[in-house]
Structure 1
């Protein structure tokens, strides 16, 4: 913890007040504050120990060796892996087609809105011109 922290782990008036307030507002907040008071200075050490254990774990290599594009590694069955790769490629191509169609549709909708806005603007200008002519004739 840095010395500039306003709320440090330990029994201080501020931490006690926050704990009581946490229990009043929502009891898990008070419980969390109590845990912070009791074990807050150990959190960084616990996180460091957990990271060291993970780095030493044999599971880390398993997760790191997974294929990041599909989220899964090879299964060992060549036929299935080839099939899966073909299907993933086909699905990605379909996705690209759908994205292109959506872009075209968005463009179409933008053009429709522009045409509608232009029509409304032209109608407004025509009614304004008519109103201006009526006002000039009344004067």
Structure 2
């Protein structure tokens, strides 16, 4: 669950400001910055009010307006290569990652062969249709 309320947890009678705040929180800091800029463009006190709210609510200086596992992983880096401190687990993890990389390479090779076969079939069909139209002048009429 994010640090801010989701739209589903808002009561039906929530005001438009609460819904707008939740909507902006779900889209992150760029949405808040865009709202501030638009506020300044439309009417400068609105932009100033949005900027003041962002500072007051710590949205301006926090890492992100929303917190999710995906963003947390991106901020802390790829942790699969860090040692856990347990040699047996680290060996198991290294073997599993190696096996997964091999499976991924095999799958990518399979997809490449599949694309080549599809391309060849489409080209063969094109050549067959082209040959029938060239040899059969009645097909043009």
* TM-score when normalising by structure 2: 0.51
Q: Which runs of 5+ in 2 are unaligned?
A: 1-35, 64-71
1:127 equivalenced with 2:136 (yes/no)? yes
Larger RCO (alpha carbons 8 Å, 6+ apart): 2
Q: Which residue of 2 aligns with 1:78?
A: 87
| Contact persistence 1:9–1:41 (CA under 8 A) | no
- Mapped to 1, the partners of 2:126 and 2:98 lie a distance apart of 42
**Which structure's CA Rg is the greater one?**
1
1:41 equivalenced with 2:45 (yes/no)? no
* TM-score when normalising by structure 1: 0.52
Distance 1:76 1:91, change over 3 A: same
Spell out the pairing of 1:40-119 with structure 2 (5 A cutoff).
Answer: 40-45=50-55, 46-51=58-63, 64=76, 68=78, 70=80, 73-119=82-128
RMSD: 3.4
Q: Which structure has more helix as a fraction of its residues?
A: 1
- Mapped to 1, the partners of 2:112 and 2:139 lie a distance apart of 41
**Structure 1 ranges of 4+ moved more than 4 A:** 1-4
| Contact persistence 1:74–1:81 (CA under 8 A) | yes
- Mapped to 2, the partners of 1:111 and 1:131 lie a distance apart of 25
- Mapped to 2, the partners of 1:113 and 1:43 lie a distance apart of 59
Q: Which runs of 5+ in 1 are unaligned?
A: 11-35, 52-59
| Contact persistence 2:133–2:139 (CA under 8 A) | no
Distance 1:101 1:114, change over 3 A: same
Q: Which residue of 1 aligns with 2:41?
A: 5
